[in-house]
Amino acid sequence: MSGEELDRLAREIREFLIQKVSATGGHIGPNLGVVELTIALHAVFDSPEEPIIFDTSHQSYVHKILTGRASQFDTLRQKDGLSGYTSRSESEHDWTESSHASAALSYADGLSKAKALQGNGDKNVVAVVGDGALTGGMCWEALNNIAEGDRNVVIVVNDNGRSYSPTIGGFARNLDELKSQIAQIRIQPGYDEVMEQGKRTLKSMGWVGERAFGALQAVKEGIKHQVVTTQMFQDLGLKYVGPIEGHDIGALMTAFAYAKQYDGPLIVHVATEKGHGFAPAVNNEADQMHSTGVIDPVTGEALGEAGPGWTSVFSEELLRAAHEREDIVALTAAMAGPTGLTPFAEKFPSRFFDVGIAEQHAVTSASGMALGGLHPVVAIYSTFLNRAFDQLLMDVGLINQPVTLVLDRAGVTGSDGASHNGVWDMAITSIVPGIRVAAPRDADRLREEFHEAIAVDDGPTVVRFPKGDVGPAIEAVRRTPGGCDILVDPREAGDKTTDEVPEVLIVAVGEFAENAVAAAEQLNSEGHRITVVDPRWIVPVSPEIVEMAANADMVVVYEDGIVRGGIGSAIGEVLSAAEVDTPLRHLAFPDVFPKHASRSQLIASVGLDAESARTSMAEWIENL
């Protein structure tokens, strides 16, 4: 394509993205920012022989369009449709599919080693890493290894100054200083080498249009890209090219052409604008439309009404607690807005800490704060706790520090795909000795259990809640002396069944209490005898649950976590140790990586909706 055609292609893709993502929801801001960048990458590098790996890959929509999947965008993030991240089952051009940040450079390091060992070391491996991802420790561990060799790894730093929110820390300040040099009329040492070699490489590839050498014209207008030896990378031995104007296809292609022929690892620093070309995204100060639901494609306004969310309830309670206690501090890993900490940060800026995309550091730093006499509240998504398990176990649990973890998006989350689901948190937290884990069933219980959590001063606590709107309040029939809530009790409802009817105890975990109550009431109306209990604190298992189980004919644990190692498993172990042989059944998420679909679709597909649960329990009762 000529330069004019490339510019037209970029405009068409940007318009296509706005129309399609507005209709389905998705990561619109990040993808609008990488249109020219992705076009230039595919023009210069030979995907899939030269792998292009997108860190987190939520900015891979343009990559999907250019590799033949534009016709599937009406199904984006929907059941059996196009994934919102790269997906190995979709295309040979997709090498990974995890949506956790800061991993791309490690993948690239390993892939380049494999190519070298197999005699293909002349091929490049390209990693596209956001500046926000570079706040994660894995990136620096990988850079340490990449820099030690002469393997052809091209590291593209997509620098838009943000992850979800503005990127923080010393590394971000260093990148900002480099970007500020764009306005200075000077040519750094090495610039001519890059320009001339880039021209030769482009010509050898058949690129002869004047637009392909747009960076040369940029010199006359004021330097838009340079080659510098930076203090940040020079000690590692990494060649640095940049900053490159990220919306100038010619400049990008020239830099990438140089990187393609360069022998050894190299960093290309690209300055982009998140949401570029869509004013509602660019002007959105909160997150520049990092991820949205269905929106108006012109105004960017959200379509459809949402009720009060779990996150907002937590946010209000945290503020209330902070007003009451000066020792309360809050931490997050680059997600102040999504986890509800922004109001806290505005009200108590000196007590708020955003550590970047570094969950491991967040948890151990919180432990240090606890050692110093504070009570830290670490708010992260459930799926990202997976990365900080060692720190929770050894840096918090082992020394019994009062750190409260608040896990947003716990359980099944849905459309963001396998790696964003929070179905593992109960399995991994429950094995930490001395930990206490709460799963509130409604907004009132979230308020109550959060305050109970921060009152604990001799070990870690966890409060987990799901994604989305809070359901209706579910009042208890009564609360036991040990703090368990009885939600359905057939005896108190005028049970007229005979003693021959089996007694079934449903242990309902978190939001699934609503489904458990609905299933139990239906079964009781059909002549069964079902009791529903919400333990509130699911770890450790309450002795009262053991006592209730011993008096029942069957126990059903109904949870939104993974079946292996979940709360059902924990209760089973406690019952076994107490020599209680009551049959135990699990309603839990199967031991699989869930595909992307809506939350309700995923729950129904594995038999965890209220009607499926009722059917399963009726069959189990029949077989007693």
**What are the residue numbers of the active site?**
274, 359, 387
Residue 594 burial (10 A CB sphere; 0-12, 13-18, 19+) = buried
Residues shown for the chain: 624
Integer angstrom CA distances of residue 23 from 59, 75, 612 = 17, 10, 31
CB 191 within 8 Å of CB 226:
yes
Integer angstrom CA distances of residue 515 from 194, 307, 603 = 63, 19, 11
Integer angstrom CA distances of residue 312 from 316, 319, 465, 469, 523 = 6, 11, 12, 9, 35
Tell me the three state secondary structure of residue 406: strand
CB 370 within 8 Å of CB 376:
yes
CB 275 within 8 Å of CB 27:
no
Contacts (Cβ under 8 Å, ≥6 apart) of 572: 584
Torsion angle defined by CA atoms of residues 362, 368, 369 and 374, in that order, rounded to the nearest 10 degrees: 130
The span from the CA of 331 to the CA of 324, in Å, is 18
The span from the CA of 152 to the CA of 410, in Å, is 40
CB 365 within 8 Å of CB 331:
yes
Side chain identity, residue 277: G
The span from the CA of 411 to the CA of 512, in Å, is 10
The span from the CA of 122 to the CA of 119, in Å, is 8
Where is 408: in which H helix or E strand?
A: strand 404-408
- 584 forms bridges with which residues in the sheet? 555
CB 397 within 8 Å of CB 435:
yes
The DSSP line for 235-302 is TTT-EEEEEEETT-HHHHHHHHHHHHH-SS-EEEEEE--TTTT-HHHHT-TTTSSSSBSSB-TTT--B
